[in-house]
Amino acid sequence: MTAAPEDVQAAVRALRAGELVAFPTETVYGLGADARNPTAVRRIFALKGRPARHPVIVHLASAQELTEWAAQVPPSAQRLAERFWPGPLTLVLRRAPTVDDSITGGQETVAVRVPAHPMARQLLAAFRGGIAAPSANRYGRLSPTCAAHVRQEFGAAVQVVLDGGVCSIGLESTIVSVVDDAARLLRPGRITAGEIRALIGDLNVGADAFSPRVPGSTAAHYAPSTPLSIVPAAAIETSSVALAAGGRRVAVLAWRAPPHSAQLPAIWINAGAQAERYAHDLYAHLRALDAAGCERILVQEVPDGEAWAAVRDRLSRAAAGAGATPTDDAKAP
């Protein structure tokens, strides 16, 4: 889906005027500012309530622009860019001297990617510059996967919202740090560790003491306002029914159908057991459960395996961000 030329030009004018623009990517919607305008970038942080030390991703029209933002592009990073861009991969590289601290959170690295969504590509081509864009939501809350989510979050505070429909992936990009040719997976996404290793060989997984800070890396993130607990797969029916029978309004996200019981939870969403579909719908489902007015959201623990790594990551952070531990209600009667 592409935008009308007049809508793209309105977004370009807003960006050049130092204003914020929301736009779709294949992962989630971004809240964008001119990446060369530190005052505009700081407006992102103010609107989202985002900590200044938390870096943002610079979105580019093509890999040819990398040298404007990165001081070094190691061979493994070049191979990753050639294979996965445009697409849901963010590379963290040593920053060029001209990159402002507002982008990097004061670090010596910069996060960059080339999105695949046709509307994002339209905007970047017309703007002819990097667009700094974290997800278009309040900091730490559920990422938006359609334009309506952005409007619910910000209302008139973001006047230009390009509507590109529902994001095709629905979870944030995979983030890989490649500094001095040492590759490290810092956030799982659609592109898996196995795919990356098949291309470049050695890959460390998870942050260490020397890893750069990256978006979405805090323990509590991607969270609904309703307390959320992750329940072992075998216990989802008994836990949810027991809580409902005790008079508590419970919302459930599972990957199978609800039990046959007279005391069902207030709302039960069967998201299915197909990893990509589950990921695509995750934030929309969590928003629906959050809006149900329940006391607690119970999420059935998802299967093991690399295909589910990004979903497991987002759910564990959602549980922490919603003020509940993953086992709170697994033990509850």
With respect to residue 220, please indicate whether it lies within any of the assigned structural domains.
Answer: no
Domain identity same for 301 and 173 = no
pLDDT over 90 at 131, yes or no: yes
With respect to residue 218, please indicate whether it lies within any of the assigned structural domains.
Answer: no
pLDDT at 333: 25
Three-state secondary-structure class, residue 276: helix
pLDDT 10s digits, 294-316: 999 999 999 999 999 999 999 99
Average pLDDT for the chain:
94
Query: How many residues are recorded in the chain?
Result: 333
Domain identity same for 81 and 166 = yes
Domain identity same for 112 and 17 = yes
Convert 196-246 into a string of H (helix), E (strand) and C (coil): HHHHHCCCEECCCCCCCCCCCCCCCCCECCCCEEEECHHHHHHHHHHHHHC
Neighbours of 169 (CB within 10 A): 22
pLDDT at 134: 97
With respect to residue 221, please indicate whether it lies within any of the assigned structural domains.
Answer: no
Neighbours of 251 (CB within 10 A): 27
pLDDT 10s digits, 93-130: 999 999 999 999 999 999 999 999 999 999 999 999 99
Domain identity same for 253 and 189 = no
pLDDT at 323: 52
pLDDT 10s digits, 31-69: 999 999 999 999 999 999 999 999 999 999 999 999 999
Host H or E run for residue 250 = strand 250-254
Number of helices (H) and strands (E), helices first, in the chain?
10, 14
Percent of all residues in the chain with a pLDDT value above 90, rounded to a whole number: 90
* Domain extent at residue 242: 228-321
With respect to residue 271, please indicate whether it lies within any of the assigned structural domains.
Answer: yes
With respect to residue 288, please indicate whether it lies within any of the assigned structural domains.
Answer: yes
| Lowest mean per-residue pLDDT among 109-123, 124-138, 210-224, 255-269 | 255-269
Last residue of a domain, one of 174, 205, 236: 205
Domain identity same for 60 and 161 = yes
Domains: count for the chain: 2
Domain identity same for 197 and 291 = no
First to last CA, the chain: 48
Domain identity same for 137 and 284 = no
Q: Average the pLDDT over 17-28 and give the result.
A: 98
pLDDT at 332: 30
Q: Average the pLDDT over 124-143 and give the result.
A: 97
Q: Average the pLDDT over 244-266 and give the result.
A: 89
With respect to residue 216, please indicate whether it lies within any of the assigned structural domains.
Answer: no
Domain identity same for 96 and 159 = yes
Q: Which amino acid is at 272?
A: G
pLDDT at 150: 98
Residue from 222, 228, 186, 219 nearest 203 by CA: 186
Instruction: Give the list of residues 6+ apart from residue 77 with CB closer than 8 angstroms, or none.
Output: 91, 93, 178, 181, 183
CATH number of the domain that 151 lies in? Answer: 3.90.870.10
Residue 29 to residues 136, 148, 149, Cα–Cα distance (Å): 6, 10, 9
Domain identity same for 26 and 157 = yes
Domain identity same for 116 and 258 = no
- State the Cα–Cα distance between residues 127 and 38, nearest whole angstrom: 17
pLDDT 10s digits, 153-188: 999 999 999 999 999 999 999 999 999 889 999 999
Domain identity same for 59 and 108 = yes
Domain identity same for 26 and 110 = yes
Residue 138 to residues 16, 31, 38, 44, 65, Cα–Cα distance (Å): 23, 10, 20, 10, 29
Percent of all residues in the chain with a pLDDT value above 70, rounded to a whole number: 97
Q: Percentages helix, strand, coil for the chain, rounded to the nearest 5?
A: 35, 20, 45
CATH number of the domain that 317 lies in? Answer: 3.40.50.11030
pLDDT at 324: 40
With respect to residue 214, please indicate whether it lies within any of the assigned structural domains.
Answer: no
Phi then psi for residue 70, to 5 deg, are -110, 135
With respect to residue 217, please indicate whether it lies within any of the assigned structural domains.
Answer: no
